[in-house]
Structures are given as C-alpha cells and as structure tokens.
Structure 1
Amino acid sequence: MELGEKIGLDHFTPIRPLGFGDTGSVHLVELKNTGELYAMKAMDKSVMLNRNKVHRACIEREIISLLDHPFLPTLYASFQTPTHVCLITDFFPGGELFALLDKQPMKIFKEETARFYAAEVVVGLEYLHCLGIIYRDLKPENLLLQKDGHIVLSDFDLSFLTSCKPHVLKHPLPTKRRRSRTQPLPTFVAEPTTQSNSFVGTEEYIAPEIIAGTGHSSAIDWWALGILMYEMLYGRTPFRGKNRQKTFANILHKDLTFPSSIPVSLAARKLINALLHKDPTNRLGSNSGANEIKKHPFFQGINWPLIRCQKPPLLDVPLQFIGRERDPKDKDVEWEDELLPSLEVY
C-alpha cells in the first residue's frame, strides 16, 4: 500500500464474520501484507434505503469519527462500494460482555466484577455526554472486551448527536460555624440537555420516558446503566414481561424488586434503585451527570483517574478470545464481485 493511497475494500482480506445486524454485517478483516486485524462494518445501501436508515448510518460514522477514548472504538477508514458503506474500526478479541456473562455460573458476575465493568461504562458514558452524544443503546451485547479485559462501548447507530455545554459548578464555602480545612472542589458537569422524541432502544433497556413519549435526554443512559447492573448481578433484567407490551407496562408501572435468593450488597441495590427512578428529573446522574454516580458508596475504592490501568478482576469462567480460526458454522467468506471496486474515501 502506497502513501496517500485511498483505502478500499480490496486492501482487506476477509477472515471471518463477527456478527450480523439490522442493516448489514461485521467482519474480521486483515489489512493486506501487514498482519493487522480490524473489524469492518458493512452496511447494505439498499436495506438502509428501504428501512429509512441512511441518516442513522451517517450519524454513526460521524459519531465514531469524533471518538478518542480508551473505552470507545477508533474509526480508521470509511469507504463505499456500489452496494455497501464500510467502516473500519478496532477489532476487540474478547467478544461481547453478553457472551461472557452467559458463561458464568448462574449467568451472573461477582459484585467486584460488576463494579469494574459498571465503572468503565460510567467513564465511557461521561465522555460521550461531554461530546453531546446520547448513547441510547447500552446493553451487554454492545459492550465488547479488549485483549486486556477492559470494555469498549460499541454500535452507535441509535445514538443521538446534539450539543453539550460543559460547565463547572462551584460549591459554596462552609459557614464560619462549620469551618473546614479543605474547600469543596468544583464539580465538572457535561450532560446534553437537548430532548429527543425518537422511539429507540432495546426492549428491556428502554427508559420509561421513551415509552411515554414525553421526550428524553441523557438520563436514559443512566437508566440503562441501572438495568445493566441489575442484569450483571441477578442474571436477568428487572422488568421483562411475557411479551413486548407487558415489558413496557412493567417499565412504566411495576415497582423495582430484588430477588432475595441472590446476595447483593445494600450499596449495589441502592445504586440500582437510584438509577432506575422512573422520573428522569429525580434519577441519579440527571442533574450533575457522572459525578453523582462516581460518588456513590458502591464505587468506593475505584481510582477513577487511573481506571484504565486497573487490572480486571478474575472471572469464574475466564475470558476466551476470538481468533483468526474460523468457526465451522461460518459461511465461506469472500468479497462479492459488486463489493470489490475500491471507491474513494468519503
């Protein structure tokens, strides 16, 4: 590959499929003659047109191009073929958190493990909100695992890109009667405030305000964090019904309960309860963002500035990596003729 050469499909060798979605598929690919592996998301143009998803694909590409964070993917290249739009991003060999959770005893994580993953999600969401991005699709299937065991938030086709005005809250000084040797530190707040009325999300993770159609903002991501924590600790989501309608009714009206058969700390239950407040204005995180959540007793002991350097906790069933070897169930992987022309990067 020559310097300045435009990247296209013919620069990559297909290795194996990684997954399939609404508008296309994700493949493990190798940049030819380098041994470097990447993930390629190939979105079918005709499907996007038929399902009115072209705008969503453009937003997803724009969002990923903005990201520069250890818990978020990097966009290395994007190009078109006559039939597909392709995004080249990092390949994360640990696969989905959902698959890892599913392999654990009782399909749950120990509290220390759940704390580690939840903390990294908080940091990832904090960064997204600071950029004016409301994630809107937090779930174990969209959390991928890096080789070192840290997580990455992926899949931004439902995300909402708006504006955010980060600001610093200065706390009043203690009165003379209650003098303190240390002044309270200012709080950095960066939460998008724009409301959206789109009906988006994954059924069991959707926040009440989305179902009610009253408009939603970044507080829906903190609701989804509460559902994620519940699922990691209890092995299921809290409001699942026998069908979609019943699930939505439960989300709107059913009280949150915790199974007594699984021992979970009071701090964890209190945090989940605060995140799953049905009124978004009273939900933890809705007023001063991630700072409120970071200060919760459940996260005591987390070194937030150095979380990237923290060693992931040991799992009952260890993380298994996706390799170059093809799964016997995988179909033969070859670029279709109409995919092959290398078109200009857009």
Structure 2
Amino acid sequence: MKAVVCSAWGLPDTLAIQDLPDPQPGPGQVALEVMAAGVNFPDVLIIQGKYQFKPELPFTPGSELSGVVRAVGDGVTTFKAGDKVIAFTAQGAFAQQIVVPVHALMPMPPGMDFDTAAAITLTYGTSHHAVVDRAALKAGETMLVLGAAGGVGLAAIEIGKALGAHVIAAASSEEKLAVCRAHGADATINYSSEDLREAIKAATDGKGPDVIYDPVGGIYAEPAFRSIGWRGRYLVVGFANGEIPKLPLNLTLLKGASLMGVFWGEFAKREPKANMAAMRQLIGWLGEGKIKPHISGRYALKDTAAALNDMAARKVTGKVVIQPGK
C-alpha cells in the first residue's frame, strides 16, 4: 500500500509517498481500507514537531478517516469485513490502509458519504467539547466565533445555532464571511477591515458576547477578551495565527469571566464515554440537517503536501479531505 511518510520534522513539501507493507490487525484491532481522510491544522504542526505531542519518526500523519473494514483481529466481534466505519487515531490516516484499535471506531450512519464521515470527528468533536461541555452555551446567549470560516469555526457556528444561541462570526474576508452566513451565522465581522472591539460592541448592543470561541490567538485575543460580557466564557481552542497571546489576567476579574482550555484529543482519551455521547449527538444533528460539514477541497494522496500547504496558508474554508484511492 502507499502512504505519506514524515521522516524528518519539516514543512509539507518534505513529506514523501512510500510503498509500505499492508498492515495486519492484531488482537483488538481492525484493518481498514481508507476511503477519505480529513486534513486539520494540527497536521501542519505535527509534521514540524510543533504540536502538543511528537510521534516517533518516521510516521504517517493524519488522524481522522472513514473507510471499509478489510480484516479484524482476535477478539473483535463488533465489526466485520465490509463494514463502513469512522475512525479517529493518533496518526496514520494519510495512507491507503491503516490498522486502528476497535475502540477508535464508530459505524458510519446509513446514507452518509465517506468524505462527510472523514470530516466530522476532530472539528465537530473539538467544537462540541468546547461549546457544549466547557462553555455550556445556552439558548438565547450570544457567542462570538473567531476564525469562523475554518473547520472548527464553521462547526462552532452550526453547534451554536443547534443550541439556540445567537452567533456572530468573525473572519478575514467577505468571501469567508459569506460561507459563515451560509452555515447559520446571525451577524458577521470582518476583522481585516473593521475595528474588532467596536464591531463586537455594535453587534451585541454593548453587552459583549457570553462566549468567545478562539482557535486563532495572536492579535485578536486581547481585544476580543476585553469585549466579553459579564460572566463570559473565553474558549482557548488553538493558535492558528502562530502566536500564543499573553492576556492581562485582571480582565478576568473585571468581567467575572472565565478562561477555558479546550483540548479535545485529551478529552476523548480521558473521558471516552462522554466523547462517544457527544459524537452520537453530532450524528443525530447531522441526520436532522442541523450540521453539515463544508468540504471545500478534495486531494489525491500524492497531493497531500498541497493540501497541508493550503491549510497552513489559511486558504481553506471548512474542511478538505485526502482520497487515498485516487
């Protein structure tokens, strides 16, 4: 089988396509034919050795996928060859085949396509953990989403609307904001051309948002946090801007506000039952049409570096997927 291999820390163009032996499942494992793999911003960081954890070199990047069961190992009774599944794994998704532990699998709902199935675990899992579990967003509250046209941003918009909240989307271009409106945003802010604090004030009648969802960091964090409402919850999701902001902690005192860290991968590992309950709710919302992953690009396995470069350059709206069979 063919797989993308990272042999040394570096930028996407240093990745190589290699022929590797077909992986065989051991006890409690399942071998899959990968039909689609989701691309996420952490993938860009992981191959550079800049993420929260570093895999041992060499490795195949990619953490979320959809596929078809090829074989099962000893002790696996819940899946069989031919089953369509969704999987989340630490690495290995950018390949034609993969072996994963059985607990990392979910059945694909009837009628779901492989691209959608590969695009729902990390972005929607992260945003559900952030918005529902950490911030406990309620109907009637207001949420501001920074970097709103990205994968986790669009997921946060849809989840906020599913909960009955008023959602304000902030992004860097009118094209991106149009995508946000198409996914349910009630109001939009272009922080490339508008003063962020003044725009937030105008959009919230001076009250400030109850929840701020921030996967961007950098220069937008402090003006956003200064604008938060009383008892507001600020979700620290990531730092796509590349800069980890240093917030004055007196702001939490003045606003009675909370800073909340969001690390979905660790949550999924430490609290697997809660994570599976969240995924079931997301699958239900998908069936009801309340959420729908926006897939803006599809790449062949040989074009994985191009997909990661587009992600790094912030050219991606919503999700892009790798289709290893092409």
TM-score normalised by the shorter chain: which range applies?
under 0.3
If the length of structure 1 is used for normalisation, what is the TM-score? Answer: 0.25
Larger-gyration structure (1/2): 1
If the length of structure 2 is used for normalisation, what is the TM-score? Answer: 0.26
